Structure 1
Amino acid sequence: MQDRGNGIVIAYWASTALTALLFAAPGLALVLRDPHFVAEMTRLGYPGYFLPFLGIWKVLGAVVVLIPGARYLKEWAYAGMIFDITGAIVSRAAAGDHGPELFLPFAIAGLVALSWALRPQDRRLSGSSPAPATS
């Protein structure tokens, strides 16, 4: 295994732990139908039946980025997180939000991208592929 340096390892785990927290907490709030989250999602135009569905996927994504292995699931989880965040940005913009309300989803997208980019080789799809044959 290649030595990645303590700074990169710390940055990876910090960004990944924060990413997981920023998806698990609202995910649980949606599943449990926290009144604040229900009101905000209603304001953004989402129907009530959609909240537990979205919440479960958020929690599952948070778990997957933390567990070892599961390389294919990790790629799907990171992609799902970006889909979720871009949906949040579009929903907020369509609801008339601007400024700080839009900054947070962009910041979270950057955090997700940082976690994805810094993940170790054993958490990447490319790490599981055999080297191409040469002629």
Structure 2
Amino acid sequence: MNKEKIKTIAYWVITVLLGANFLFAGFIYLSRNPEVLAGMTQLGYPQYFPLILGTWKLLGGIAIIVPGFALLKEWAYAGMFFNLTSAAISSGISGLGAQHVISPLAMLAFVILSWWLRPDKYKLTPNK
């Protein structure tokens, strides 16, 4: 198997896992899960915040899984980056345990890998 084929397979495995995670999280947030609401309270966020985050998580998960739409994918990856780094920082500042800081940073590694491994057809090309 050549390098390009391996890279493509790695991209799709990582991207599907990442997208599924964001889709699942979006559903949990939108369902007003009691654990999510309790977590938002611990972080000092309002109770409507999971509805906003859940919507963006669902849309981001869809955006990175659906083929094509390079610009939309770039926005989704950026949103995931901001979401996960903000989650880690918020958890750290709020004094939650180390696992609440490490978990979003571990998921951030999947975001970076998915973005880095994406095929050329999913990358923005400069206007010529």
| Same-fold call, TM cutoff 0.5 | yes
Structure 2: 5+ residue stretches without partners: none
Indicate if the aligned counterparts of 2:32 and 2:50 stay in contact, CA closer than 8 A. Answer: yes
Identity over aligned pairs, percent: 40
* 22-31 or 113-122, which deviates more: 22-31
What's 2:47 paired with?
Answer: 48
What's 1:103 paired with?
Answer: 102
The structural deviation recorded for 1:31 is 0.7
**TM-score of the superposition, structure 2-length normalised?**
0.92
Counterpart of 2:45 in 1: which secondary structure? coil
What's 1:68 paired with?
Answer: 67
What's 2:119 paired with?
Answer: 120
Return the alpha-carbon distance in structure 2 between the equivalents of residues 101 and 82 of structure 1.
16
Counterpart of 1:96 in 2: which secondary structure? coil
The structural deviation recorded for 1:4 is 5.2
Q: Which entry has the higher C-alpha Rg, 1 or 2?
A: 1
What's 2:90 paired with?
Answer: 91
Return the alpha-carbon distance in structure 2 between the equivalents of residues 95 and 87 of structure 1.
12
Counterpart of 1:125 in 2: which secondary structure? coil
Instruction: Tell me the amino acid that sits aligned with residue 99 of structure 1.
Output: A
**Is structure 2 residue 38 aligned with structure 1 residue 36?**
no
The structure with more helix, counted as a fraction of residues: 2
Return the alpha-carbon distance in structure 1 between the equivalents of residues 70 and 5 of structure 2.
23
What's 2:79 paired with?
Answer: 80
Instruction: Tell me the amino acid that sits aligned with residue 68 of structure 1.
Output: P
What's 2:20 paired with?
Answer: 21
Compared CA separation, residues 4 and 69, structure 1 to 2 (3 A):
farther
Say how many residue pairs are matched: 127
> What's the C-alpha RMSD, in Å, of the aligned pairs?
1.5
**TM-score of the superposition, structure 1-length normalised?**
0.87
Instruction: Tell me the amino acid that sits aligned with residue 95 of structure 1.
Output: S
Return the alpha-carbon distance in structure 2 between the equivalents of residues 27 and 50 of structure 1.
12
